[in-house]
Amino acid sequence: MLDEFSQATFDGCLDSDFQIIENATPVCALKLTDVIERTNTPRQETFSLLFHGPVAPFLPQGIRRLKHTELGEMDIFLVPVGKEQDGFQYEAVFNRLLEP
């Protein structure tokens, strides 16, 4: 399912909220703050998503179920990459193979 999502898909979701779901229950919301293009090749699209989350709960790295009002539910590997006074920053890195 994630191969359907490209960098352009997430570009359209900047500044929107993604709910973290655990055991079918919303835990917290993460705001998509940045979509960063990495080095692309003719066969691969590479980009990162940066999210801002609250101070609590802290989410250790791992696969998280995210729910977005337009994109639906998806499982994404999130890594905490920074702490700010008002919360944590999380990153998801995508290496998406393109059709030949």
Q: So where are the chain's domains?
A: 2-42+49-97
User: 2-42+49-97, which class in CATH?
Assistant: mainly beta
The model carries a pTM of 0.90
Candidates 53, 74, 54, 72; CA nearest to 64 is: 74
Instruction: Tell me the residue type at 38.
Output: R
Residue written as token pair 């250790």? 60
Q: Could you list the pLDDT tens digit for every one of the 100 residues in the chain?
A: 556 788 989 999 999 999 999 998 989 999 999 999 888 788 888 999 999 999 999 999 999 999 999 999 999 999 999 999 999 999 999 988 887 7
